[in-house]
Amino acid sequence: MTVTYPARQRVSVWVGTFPSEVDFDRCVDSSVTPALTLPTHIERICEVAFEREQVSVRRLLDGFSGCETFIESATKTAEMRGIAAANSALVCYHLECSEAPDDWGGLKFLGSFSGQRGV
């Protein structure tokens, strides 16, 4: 896997389903953060969403900063991979992951897309 940070106008997106927000946070801390080995804290470049029940991927991603720049691509990728719904999302801005695994300890990596924060 190749991780590029900062990557101009790139957004990386993960989604998953967890029984609690604590479980989601633990997954990010134990599976995503160590794999990325970023020169900054992940909290500085990401936003998260957690819902009690599963919702469509589109609805889950709607409301993220700059979502209009990546929601179509991320939703289409989720559909192609058979992911219709989730209750958790992690969106990292200025981050590109190539040749990345699909599964990250309960989170599914949808990919890195053209996009940006808060346009």
What is the per-residue pLDDT across 59-103, written as a single tens digit (0 to 9) for each? 999 999 999 999 999 999 999 999 999 999 999 999 999 999 999
Determine the pLDDT at residue 118: 76
Q: Is the CB of residue 1 less than 8 Å from the CB of residue 99? A: yes
Return the structure tokens found at 69. 């720049």
pLDDT > 70? residue 119: no
Return the structure tokens found at 92. 């990292």
| Cα 9 to Cα 11: distance, rounded to the nearest angstrom | 7
